[in-house]
Structure 1
């Protein structure tokens, strides 16, 4: 792989001053900017749509977002040894944000919802049900095939838990299908700029363009709450986060149902199993990661059982169905 410093000099005419690490990634500084490289393995349209969102966000105050820049030929992608790369540039500032976490996310969604054009390739807005059906189908087939090809403890474990994963996923799919017929929504339910998996990213020193998606705002709420529920956080943190968010963007009944459906769907299990499909981790490490998550799953389900009570949502008066087997 071409070293970043050489790539910057050759393709971008940028002579860097020092190497540094920001948000766990290695970059090079020139003046007030830091430069990073990412390999462009996805379709070009995905990066271009993410770039459009990123430039919009920077214009609206999110200056710690690393945005793609064109090379000396005016091209967004630089080819080296048959591999495509994108260079990201971010302004080097020690950015702090003292606002409550829920408010930070709500403000971001407010800005994102004013973006005028819904992207095509990176939008999941309105499509969760079909996306989850497709994901479950692909994963079920692949897990069964891999179990025939490999006899590791990891693949045996996956086969053991596959019926559970199918069962809970189908519950989430059924719930989201029914929720999509609930028309109790309002303006805050329109699509917005969001993150692939929101983990409090907005307070990180750098935001990454390739983490951006376009979706319903409850995607970010659900993924952050999922982390809190899988961790050792007490329920007060969830309450505070939701209350702070709603002080700016109150949730509709439709939003609560989408949020609950996404928490039911075991995205955290799919994410780890997906790493195995891409050979990102050795089998023994995957076995350890999935075992830890499965051990937490009973506690996670218990928290999910009481989610609406924790969030102070009156499910009976609002006619919001809940899963009673949890």
Structure 2
């Protein structure tokens, strides 16, 4: 579908087609090109992503994807009814023995000096509003299922478990609000380039690509929290050493303030893994996927005590100094 349009608009042959980070990609003259289809065109957002990308490339990040200009001197092209753009990377592999926490801290430090205002891609100061909207949306579904009586095992589990996870989400919002009222951000708390969801495989693969379409502009603890959450969920009994190393490596480069430690904790309190499981189920899914989501939900519910223990001991397990930073703890955990 894209081959003719790419040759016509850019003069590139699609050699060695593959998939990188969920996007179709191809090699040409030892460069890797990612094809980014656009469902809708938000010019402000595209400009912000292009500017963030260009800034980090100029700062020396050789893994960041660059936007490719077409022969028509535009970043946007069309293949049939699909509008798309191309990103390009050199074919580079990240050393396997690197310290991920340290690399992430350096990435955040570079991007913290980004000089332009960010609007469309910014999530700074929006956590409370977005979390409340998420809880309200799921609560509306819960009330509907409660009245109509749950018709499947998944719905039964959902109806029984939601009040607990709603309360957990509300605790996260309160912890966040208290932080913003009681504490003062420091220089390391300025906004930076983050990821929608930074996971263990975000910076891995045969070729390392830092794709601007994975990014949002936010507080750096967003990435730390989402990595820590995934790491815990995959290793609920043995997460401590890996998490301690990751956070230690990060802090050796960019130490937390009390504000950032509290923001990190509030994000871990917010049970995004539960909410996403519910949301994914009620979006039209094939029956096989619904069974998988039912099993995921049952596992989350069965491990609530383990998750509480993780939250209870998080500061200690991550070796974040509670007394020095005067970090408040939740009474009910």
Give me the whole-angstrom Cα distance separating, in 1, the residues matched to 2:144 and 2:180: 33
Give distance in 2, aligned partners of 1:52 and 1:290.
40
Match of 1:240, SS state, is helix
Structure 1 stretch displaced more, 195-204 or 115-124: 195-204
3-state SS in 2 of match to 1:96? coil
Deviations 1:77-129 (A, max 9, x none): 33344332232222222332643121111101110101112310111112211
- Superposition deviation, residue 42 in structure 1: 4.5
CA contact (8 A) 2:145 2:159 kept: no
In the other structure, the counterpart of 1:171 is 171
1:268 aligns with 2:273: yes
Indicate the residue corresponding to 1:152 in structure 2: 152
2:24 corresponds to 1:19: no
**1:26-50 CA deviation, whole Å, 9 max, x = no partner?**
4211112122223212552333322
Partner of 1:247: helix, strand, or coil? helix
Q: Structure 1 residues 130, 79: CA separation in 2 closer, same or farther (over 3 Å shift)?
A: same
What's the CA shift for 1:153?
Answer: 3.0
Change (3 A) 1:74 1:297: farther
Q: Secondary structure at the match of 1:34?
A: strand
TM-score (norm 2): 0.87
Aligned to 2:105: 106
Query: Which of residues 298, 301, 321 is equivalent to 1:294?
Result: 301
Give the 3 Å change call, closer, same or farther, for CA 285–15 of structure 1 in structure 2. same
- Secondary structure of the residue aligned to 1:94 is coil
Provide, for residues 233-259 of structure 1, a one-character-per-residue CA deviation record: whole Å limited to 9, x for no partner. 431222221211111111011111111
Contact 2:258 2:325 (8 Å CA) reproduced: yes
Give the TM-score of the pair, scaled to structure 1. 0.89
5+ residue gaps, structure 1, are none
Q: Which residue of 2 aligns with 1:141?
A: 140
Bigger drift between 92-101 and 118-127 goes to 92-101
Q: Contact 1:269/1:293 (CA < 8 Å) preserved in 2?
A: yes
SS of the residue corresponding to residue 227 of structure 1 reads: helix
Selected match of 1:226 from 229, 235, 243: 229
2:322 matches 1:320: no
Q: Which residue of 1 aligns with 2:186?
A: 186
Identify the range of structure 1 (83-92 vs 107-116) with the bigger mean alpha-carbon deviation. 83-92
Task: Please list every run of 5 or more consecutive structure 2 residues that lacks an aligned counterpart in the other structure.
Answer: none
Alignment CA distance shift 1:286-1:84 (3 Å): farther
